[in-house]
Amino acid sequence: MTYEAIIGAKISFIFLTIRSTLTVMRKWLSNYFDMTKGEFNGLMVLVVLIFSVSFVPVIYNWLWPLALDPLMEQQAEAHFRKLQKNTQQTMAYPERKPYARASGAKIPLRLHRFDPNTTSLSGWQDLGFSVKQAQSILNYRQKGGKFRKPEDLQKMYVVSPAAYLRLRPYIAITATSGPIAAAGQPGTATGKTFVKISHPMALVEINRADTTALMAIRGIGPTFAKRILQYRERIGGFHKKEQLMEVFGLDLVKFEEIKDQVLVDISAIKRLNINTIRIEDFKNNPYIRYKQANAIIQYREQHGNYSNFEDLKKVVILTPELLDQLSPYISFIP
């Protein structure tokens, strides 16, 4: 057999192998993806094009190799050696830089005795807090917040339990002056005595209050009053004070400021009869999504009315957390 015949036989064998492989692939794809012969041929053309484009850079570099400039190679090598030398020196003798007093920058700890009612912004930074965290504490004080005992510092959400334990031995709250402050001390223009009159804080029941009544709460303005009313309407009323923190913009600091001025009457909550409620009644409720509301309706239509809370637990899609949130707002009237 001649050399040309051997080459021809090998080429024929390769083509037959490719053809049989493509036939098997087409049948497999047709079975699982319902592909026609034309769609399969298009797919094969696309695969060939992808492989061709992938090998173009390799073929190009093989045909026209890049001629490297010896001078550029020497400069690159020298630059690499310089970087390597600097890295080794830095690892051996790390440079010590002062910490920047900027938001997010790490502040070195300089623990000392401090009064949280008088400590300045830089003082809080010395204790390890960022600018943003320190400003949050100052904002709390500016709004009338006081630290009457060391444990009150734990109320601030920016003070983690670990930070409080670290700072606890250094907290020194000084005694505050009484309600009477003498102005007739040496160096004053008059000898009069000024009496600071403290007005009692208002107590407002938030489930029946209107905007005017809510604005009587110290720390609540027109914007917050409107938001509280809108959120109360969405959920059907508040069953605990802590729900106020679900109102947009009302954070822990604001809640600590107003929590002693509000009352909650759970008898004013608007309850929904779970056996007659429609899916539209859940539309504005922030606790439940459409799928969960729809599951409640569908289960009722398939199994009849709900008798008690245990029946509602049979709806698989309802989580224990959601059921706990909904429990004050639903009733089971037949």
Q: How many folded domains does the chain comprise? A: 4
Give Cα 52 distance to the centre of its chain.
46
Mean pLDDT, all residues of the chain: 79
Closest CA to 116 of 150, 142, 162: 150
What whole-number distance in Å separates Cα of residue 29 and Cα of residue 33? Answer: 5
Question: Phi/psi zone of residue 304: left (φ > 0), alpha (ψ -120 to 50 degrees), beta?
Answer: left
Q: Is residue 187 part of a domain?
A: no
**Of the candidates 245, 268, 291, which is a domain's last residue?**
268
What whole-number distance in Å separates Cα of residue 325 and Cα of residue 321? Answer: 6
* pLDDT tens digits for range 156-185: 888 888 888 888 888 888 865 334 333 344
pLDDT at 159: 86
241 & 260 share domain:
yes
What whole-number distance in Å separates Cα of residue 170 and Cα of residue 153? Answer: 12
pLDDT at 3: 67
Q: Is residue 63 part of a domain?
A: no
282 & 318 share domain:
yes
Q: What is the CATH number of the domain that holds 289?
A: 1.10.150.280
pLDDT at 67: 59
Per the CB < 8 A criterion, the answer to whether 128 and 163 are in contact is yes
106 & 47 share domain:
no
Q: What's the domain range around 227?
A: 204-268
Q: Is residue 287 part of a domain?
A: yes
262 & 285 share domain:
no
Per-10-residue mean pLDDT, the chain, length 334? 72 78 72 67 82 78 66 72 68 45 52 86 86 88 85 84 84 61 41 50 87 91 93 92 92 91 91 90 87 90 89 89 89 86
311 & 250 share domain:
no
pLDDT at 1: 62
* pLDDT tens digits for range 136-159: 888 888 888 888 888 888 888 888
137 & 164 share domain:
yes
Per the CB < 8 A criterion, the answer to whether 207 and 265 are in contact is yes
**Of the candidates 247, 268, 289, which is a domain's last residue?**
268
253 & 309 share domain:
no
Q: Is residue 92 part of a domain?
A: no
